[in-house]
């Protein structure tokens, strides 16, 4: 194997001119013997140990990055490990500097002579305080300790004068005074209000319910039990907890997503049943109580008044199939999550509504609570108990709010009319603005929904609308949904 090609860098003209042989000089600078013969050194041939020429080292040296050893057993089957590094750091050019024992001998230190033992006076004061001074200090410390003991004893005796074991606190006699009306209503109604719990695995919801019949029928909101009602796996659980702590499983009799009501049935005897009131007897300003389990806090009672009647409220949202518009009773009694399905009662203990919704930007009660009127609760619940389902009258339009009549009056503008619907049969077309259904004024889509649902299926209702700036009256015969 021949030598590798030698790398020779390019030499520029200026460098060659500066380092070239002088003019007239050829060959080496060594003197030559007479006759032109080459000088040959005489005497002993001395082998000189010097680094190889750079050209030879580059041509025959180990390639860059190679770790192959030149000294190896030619008969060995594999490469042998590299020889260990020399033990002597002086022979290792790559060894690090280190400290060692000096070559000269060192003398051993002389053993220390034990000194005299020091007493407390030498240790604390360096021997500069006399025994007499130490005695005086001890006496002063004893006097200070005695004075401190006398002060502590005096302080303790002064504090003990503030306490006494002879004092006995007693309650004033009741005097036979009767509790107020709120207490009487709560005692009468509370056994008829239950906590409704629905869960599926780690997901659950808690609401309230009201016993409306002694055979075990309980009314609540559909959105309280929709988790269990929509379960197809059969793993959902549903039960109720009574005011005395008794728990019982329940079954769903029927539910209505358009009114957000549901009826459950429990197999428990001797139930306390709530008294049902009449929606026509409810007036704005009447005192009311909201009873339920807000945020899981069972048997919670809050009080307020009826703030408004016939308030259209849209109910629905994520996690429930409820899509209802309520003709609600508005109250400022505190209602929170978990009050849903609970009782709104008057001061005679009669049910006037089922608490169902709140309006709040924070999610908590701000005094804007809404309940389903008791007349609607009776109608829907009885239909569910009889048939397991309920039907509603429909008009067959979708609408949006529209300002009409010189920006003074608003109504529900028809955005779409279903083919073959009662609205289509009556001649209502897209763009009409409905401002009144029967005797009820309509100011928006929610108002239109509750106005239609306040009538019966098959009833013919006058509908007042505005078409192209003209007032038009049409007769619509409502059909079942």
Report angle CA 232, 236, 238 to the nearest 5 degrees: 130
Q: DSSP labels for 154-215? A: HHHHHHHTT--SS----PPP-TTPPP-HHHHHHHHHGGGEEEEEEEETTEEEEEEEEEEETT
Half-sphere exposure of 137 (CA within 13 A, CB side): 8
Could you say which of 208, 223, 226, 375 is catalytic? 223
Q: Are 480 and 391 in contact (CB under 8 A)?
A: yes
Q: H or E element: which one contains 104?
A: none
Q: H or E element: which one contains 31?
A: none
The residue whose two tokens read 């307020």 is: 304
Could you say which of 205, 226, 259, 260 is catalytic? 260
Query: 437 exposed, middle or buried (CB, 10 Å; 0-12, 13-18, 19+)?
Result: buried
- Residue 340 among the catalytic residues: yes
The residue whose two tokens read 């959105």 is: 223
Could you say which of 259, 307, 340, 356 is catalytic? 340
Phi, psi of 312 (to 5 degrees): -70, 125
Alpha-carbon distances, residue 413 vs 28, 46, 102, 399 (angstroms): 116, 121, 108, 5
Helices (H) and strands (E) in the chain, counts: 9, 21
Give the C-alpha separation, 236 to 295, whole Å: 21
Give the C-alpha separation, 328 to 279, whole Å: 11
Q: How far apart are the first and last CA of the chain?
A: 102
The residue whose two tokens read 């709120």 is: 182
- Residue 260 among the catalytic residues: yes
Q: Are 165 and 268 in contact (CB under 8 A)?
A: no
Residue 70 in 3-state DSSP? coil
% helix, strand, coil for the chain, step of 5: 25, 30, 50
Pick from 245, 226, 247, 233: nearest CA to 201? 233
- Residue 443 among the catalytic residues: no
Q: Are 227 and 176 in contact (CB under 8 A)?
A: no
Record the tokens describing residue 136, joined without a space.
């005086």
Q: DSSP labels for 241-274? A: E-TTS-EEEEEEEEEETTTTEEEEEE--SS---P
Q: H or E element: which one contains 360?
A: none
Half-sphere exposure of 32 (CA within 13 A, CB side): 10
Q: Which residues are catalytic?
A: 223, 260, 340
């Amino acid at each position: 194997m021949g030598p590798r090609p030698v790398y020779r860098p390019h030499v520029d003209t200026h460098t060659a001119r500066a380092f070239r042989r002088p003019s007239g000089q050829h060959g080496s600078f060594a003197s030559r013997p007479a006759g032109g013969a080459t000088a040959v050194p005489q005497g002993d041939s001395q082998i000189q140990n010097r680094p190889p020429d750079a050209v030879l080292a580059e041509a025959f040296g180990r390639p860059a990055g190679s770790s192959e050893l030149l000294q190896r057993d030619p008969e060995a089957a594999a490469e042998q490990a590299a020889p260990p590094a020399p033990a002597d750091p002086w022979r290792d050019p790559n060894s690090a500097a280190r400290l060692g024992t000096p070559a000269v001998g060192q003398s051993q230190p002389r053993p220390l002579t034990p000194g005299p033992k020091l007493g407390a006076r030498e240790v604390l004061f360096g021997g500069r305080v006399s025994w007499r001074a130490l005695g005086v200090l001890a006496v002063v410390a004893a006097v200070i300790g005695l004075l401190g003991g006398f002060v502590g004893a005096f302080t303790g005796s002064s504090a003990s004068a503030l306490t006494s074991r002879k004092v006995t606190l007693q309650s004033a006699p009741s005097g036979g005074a009767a509790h107020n009306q709120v207490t009487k209503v709560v005692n009468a109604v509370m056994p008829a209000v239950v906590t409704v719990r629905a869960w599926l695995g780690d997901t659950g919801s808690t609401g309230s319910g009201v016993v409306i019949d002694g055979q075990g029928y309980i009314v609540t909101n559909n959105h309280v039990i929709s988790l269990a009602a929509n379960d197809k796996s059969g793993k959902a659980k549903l039960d109720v907890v009574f005011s005395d702590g008794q728990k019982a499983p329940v079954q769903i009799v029927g539910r209505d997503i358009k009114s957000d009501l549901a009826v459950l049935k429990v197999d428990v005897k001797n139930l306390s049943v709530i008294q049902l009131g009449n929606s026509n007897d409810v007036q704005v300003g009447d005192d009311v109580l909201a009873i339920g389990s807000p945020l899981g806090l069972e048997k919670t009672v809050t009080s307020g008044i009826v703030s408004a009647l016939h308030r259209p409220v849209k109910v629905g949202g994520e996690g429930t199939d409820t899509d209802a518009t309520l003709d609600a009773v508005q109250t400022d009694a505190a209602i929170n999550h978990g009050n849903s399905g609970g009782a709104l009662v008057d001061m005679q203990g009669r049910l006037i509504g089922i608490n169902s919704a709140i309006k709040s930007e924070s999610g908590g009660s701000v005094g804007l609570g809404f309940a389903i009127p008791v007349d609607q609760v009776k109608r829907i619940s009885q239909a569910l108990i009889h048939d397991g389902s309920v039907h509603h009258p429909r008009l067959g339009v979708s609408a949006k709010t529209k300002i009409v009549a010189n920006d003074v009056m608003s109504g529900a503008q028809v955005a779409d009319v279903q083919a073959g619907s009662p609205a289509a049969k009556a001649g209502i077309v897209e763009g009409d603005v409905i401002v009144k259904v029967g005797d009820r004024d309509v100011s928006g889509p929610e108002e239109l929904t509750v106005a239609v649902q306040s009538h019966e299926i098959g009833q013919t209702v006058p509908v007042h609308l505005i078409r192209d700036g003209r007032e038009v009256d049409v007769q619509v015969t409502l059909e079942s949904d």
